Structure 1
């Protein structure tokens, strides 16, 4: 079972899985939703196509490097092992595991060698800015045939089509606060699709982690394994309250509305730059094991691929796929070396009205040096010369009457905006007193650790993360005209 508490994990309860199995056994099987690759991305009247891939290309060629990056190994560098979910396969960039099939599909194939070791494929979009426009709707859709294997031969199979909040990149420990949308996932060859939202804190919280808020249903007509079906997710900001919806073959089977969650949880999930998409086929792990027993088994059959005909992202209404944060700076971040922390997760050169954000409890754990459900603040598009100095900050922190809480700050610099954090500074945590009222947490606490080096920023990024390293209670951080970071760039 999974030991990490801060990693995207796509897991459903035993009850949900058994319910889906019962529905499968009771359902009638007819032919629908099947057929070969369409050869194109379908027209969607009323929607504006923002991005797509129809996976046309020669047999055994890798997916487009302009659209996708291939994940390899057993986890992200510096992230939890086994991708935080207990899955056992080694992801590779081999065309044996991930490649086009020459017939208009992407093919992700799990394989087992003579020693019993499994390999498979996992890819994610280069873009990480898929977001519903203000006043509009985002639509993410894929036409997928799950691995065509059922029964004991399918034990341990875990295909998925999903999305993660962009702040996860380069951090890998801020799940589930940054949000996860599981558009389609399946387990053990059961004729059901699961749709799940992960958010908030783990364990527990408003999204009932690590389970998430999910639902499942049988695939309409032909089974999920024997035919292609269309899986769609919508993020609707044109309605009040905002809504998230999951569909299979245009049939709604799950929804979550904004009023089901507290304002901070919703904001942490939606007020960042957007989401990136993932396609993978895991073997083993927490979700397959939820049915009981160890998976995979000796009866599990390798070589049954998941096929993806197309993936597309559309919007309608509003102003496009991305927009500035809801509390944007009134001048470019690069116009000042002093950046104010903002309630919507931004860093602004101009301060805004005083406000506050809540930092999740450490839950009695110790996360000294490892961000745990942090509040994250980011500035982008910064072009400034390094002045030879060092980072300074003044964070207003308060834990109320909670005893033994300690806030911790990490400041990271991506010098060229390429998604790689060239310089990361983690400061010793600040033990707040059990008296109501803000205290000043500054760089004077000293560096706990640092990696990389400073250099000139050219369209670069700065990120500030604040979390509770210890304690059993939440904390408050003042933002707006209260907490600032001074970066060493003139």
Structure 2
């Protein structure tokens, strides 16, 4: 009997995968639904919280998160008072410490890798399990685990703490805390950390081992021992001693109260000399206590890599060495780009790996940080209709689209998950209908999407369904009706919300106004912030809730209270969330969101290939599978929460099928092998989810997948799929071939396919402007606004320009710029990218404050410009070289009237640089405004100041002139010298002062205000042939070719287009000189300059693309912003 993947069939909160009959499952789900339906809702209602046109409620409209003790009303019930503020993290490997669900005093085992831990009233238990345990049937339904098997326990002698709490956390560490009123202890543990650090008070340190505890090293404060088949070494403070006996080790720690213990990468068959050698290697780092960890990422468009720097903050309790021992997961070591370190080993790789449930862990000794360059292999909104745009294939697809025309969403859903599935179904239909010019079908689907999203994104007073509610206690946004524990256990938010975000991104292409922050875009951002928010300063939600930064993938359970740790089943729905961020960022011009999505996507792609699809062959012998349906902290399972069917066990990690899931085809041969494995386990071809599995197969063998589809056209579609999309996907992959990752592109929405050695290059443009995509082999693909295109072995163009984006036509005059882009140079602001670097001194003064005067500082004065209503933005290339721990801050100040008082001061969050040579990007998006004082308006004779200085670290930095820019929110920016700007703006109504500053363009009224020097005929009859001896009327007819005498006879009435030398002496493009009064807006001649404090910075203002080209690029680039307002 098969269990369809239907609503209500996926409880994810049980403590083990389901291996019972589907009939039992359905009964259990029915009882759950009945129980939920009986939950009462209070009648008191708070006013909805507006977010543009959208809103959410703060009413508790359904079940709240629940657990032990006071958790229902106090999420910090098991958090110490001195722990970090803000929202409490959930969905982590250590969540059962704080989100206690079953063990209300301690926690479930914490699988950190290479070690696992389990708190008890007497201290912290350790387990380094090196041999897996297999359950179930090899090659059938089964699991493998490296279970917690206690080797030893470390605590304070006599301690009997009634509860363990959480005192601290960072990106991949946590610090549990014990106290019984007399004795207390903390232990800092983390992913990839062989060392554990303890702080103890009230008694001696006590290590209690298994019955086989054996000491093989005693060396003063250091003791090495074996217990439970693993080898450890404990490092007490200098002057300490250890006493041994009865299976225990004890030390007073010389009264210092700290201790570190390391597990060694040795095996039971090693000699004591080998154990001692590794203990010696680790010894220099025993006193460098890890007090914080952090990962910083950046996407490099040119290389299409995501560079992630994993840093360890340490405190040297003794000595000066600051490195530590680090174990890397396979997805990290596969793309290791380098490491920094300290001490004798200085981050060098060890010759021994640690064993873990994820495979061998490469070990770096003495590392302070390490860096990975993980490839981003590209996504698409949808495959191009290479095969289905014409002929019989087109007719077949048209008929399938006709069947969807009336109701593209199809699913009658009310909860967040199944509404999301329905949205996802409609999005696929939008994409293919748009490519094929089936606008009626497309627009019906878009209307359904907009109606559904708008309903969910709007909270009316007292509304309890199709509404999002913010729970301040837990720092979470929950959609109601909820499902699969998304409310009471905070499960699966990334699974659910990814569908909404991707649907919103699709809608944004066709209705950009809907996606504005002032409309419904802000609600999309709320969903992102809840599930995997990337703003570290947002205290309303935890940073990266569902994503395990070090493990490289999401966790599904909010509390993780299972003996095998946390778990995740549908890795592909996690990737759906990441792709949602990419598409939302691209559609709305939000680069920060795009890059966060790319970081999640690339990192998870690497992890999924390793841990779900066994790329390195690390799954244990005897397990009988090269793929799993879910992973656990301690291992993996060929099983799911909701079905024992092979189709669903494997299919759950391939749905939904979208252009954002091309990573599934990174290893085409593996795709075919996995499909065949499913057929073997199933004892035949799939009988459910055929469309999902055939679509997956198409990424490895499109022709075979198409043959399977053609052989069973009446298959039952999976609820989130349509027959139209399945045919489109498979038929086009049969033509395109498989993913070719040897060629990359400089745009995220691009991919290359190869079949029979011939490549097809594809790209999609989700914006309203033309796009040029360049591939790494030199191929160039131009994609019109709103279209998908292909070139190479196959060509294609399809899709309509985004509706709601009107054709502006050809303007008779270039639009006035609303912002001005300034480049940086050795002498200040420049018109074009500079060369060289600017020096930023080492931090002086207090941390996080510093002294701005030690940095790169430039002030431009006497400026006039129109405030365009936009925000300041910058993109700076910063390099600290090999300097460790540097942080660089930027500040932009505006004096609007030149009175010496700064009317607006914007101070931005500091940017922590890595200790690797090479420029990193410090932008106003990755480090937004931290404080802002004052307001902006039009500038009249004012000043702009940029300061870049170090606020952390002891090393100097540099700023790259070639790539660094500052965009200020002023159009028509110019030097204010008291004269008419010379740009044709003099109204000609008699108000021109008659001082020689009239532009001479025919607007002078001839009423006596003309300078009266007899030189202007006032009739525009100057021939403009270079023969005018200095009486050029200034109407643009002076050729600027050097024939103007430049002898000082020009009265200063040239048009201000850059051909006049301006005041003082200088050389025009025609190499003349002159001393006229100069009415140019800003001199753009070589040698023209802008007055700045202490330096001279050449620059100018663009008057249009043609003029800029004519002047050889001397003008400063200005443009209207393409960013969404408020982002």
Q: What TM-score, normalized by structure 1, do the two folds share?
A: 0.32
Higher helix share: 2
Higher strand share: 1
Q: What TM-score, normalized by structure 2, do the two folds share?
A: 0.17
Structure ranking higher on relative contact order (CA contacts 8 Å, 6+ apart): 1
